[in-house]
Structure 1
Amino acid sequence: VIYYAKRLIELHGTKGDILTAMVDKAKDLPEYSIYQSIPGFSDKTVVSLIAELGDLHRFRTANKLNAFVGIDLRFNDSGDYKSTGFITKRGNSTARKVLFRAISNIASTASYGHPSHINDWYQKKKQSSLSKGTKKIAIGAMSRLLRTMHYLAINHQLYDYKAASKH
């Protein structure tokens, strides 16, 4: 037990060193400051998304980015049967996990005075549709977040709550 406890402490330290090195390398990238401007994004979230998504300029539309992550909707309709749709999950599962955690970070930082239009939409949907699961609402918020990130990266803009709330 003592060996495993020491090993765990060593691994935790190594993880911190790797994160610091990733942040040092990513600070020079233009996406770093853009993503950092989004409320609720920490250094770890930003470097994880840069690593998983890469350069967003290679996606012509935000829908293609959604498909890359695997949160694009698919329907199974046949005859009179109409499905509600489900995500394909044919994409980067690590990016989906990071984005899912990012949505909860965005929601929690909004209560500390860092609002975002993504959290406004997320909270409105949670209040209005009690029958839907919060995971489905979080997937919708992830889609909005990816659209926002794509727009900001393509136009080289920092996040601005007032400008985002108008749209």
Structure 2
Amino acid sequence: MIAIKGVSTITVAGLFAEVGDLSNYRDPRQIIKLAGLNLQMNQSGYFKGQTTITKRGRRRLRSLLYQVARPLSIHNEGFKELHHYYKNRANNPLTGKQSYVALSRKLIKIFFVIGTRNCSFDETRMLRDIPQLKPLQEVA
């Protein structure tokens, strides 16, 4: 996990302090919910409002992930492309903070896979999930 450019030992230690052993979780969405980063639509009756994060969960974990997502979007090329895609996509572009929350959710998924499968981080594999970025990757 420390091999990811932009992630320090303090970040990984803080993650494990809040989450504990990753083998206790079956899916990364459980950790996302623990952090309070799952999405919820604000609605009442016929009114359907904005979709926001629930903020029910561990405040320190949510803060740690947000504080890591910002430097990752600057120093790590894969996360920089992902942040640029989230902010400038044609359908439903995100604001800056919303993009950092999306990057935090992605980082939890990456940490979960690295921690449970004992594999290494690969930026091209991470960006393979987004079909709009494939033409850009093939050109490069």
Q: TM range, normalised to the smaller chain? A: 0.7 to 0.9
| Deviation readout 1:16-63 (Å, 9 max, x if unpaired) | xxxxxxxxxxxxxxxxxxx11222101221222221222122121111
Residue among 115, 125, 138 paired with 2:100: 138
Match of 1:103 in 2: 69
Higher helix share: 1
Unpaired runs of at least 5, structure 2: 130-140
Match of 1:75 in 2: 41
Larger Rg: 1
Counterpart Cα distance in 1 of 2:43 and 2:14: 36
Match of 2:81 in 1: 120
Higher strand share: 2
Residue among 114, 118, 132 paired with 1:152: 114
**TM-score of the aligned structures, taking structure 1 as reference length:** 0.68
Shift of 1:108: 2.0
Counterpart Cα distance in 2 of 1:138 and 1:147: 14
Unpaired runs of at least 5, structure 1: 1-34
Contact 2:88 2:94 in 1 (8 A): no
Count of equivalent residues: 128
SS in 1 for 2:57: coil
Identical aligned residues as a percent: 23
Pair 1:90-2:65 in alignment: no
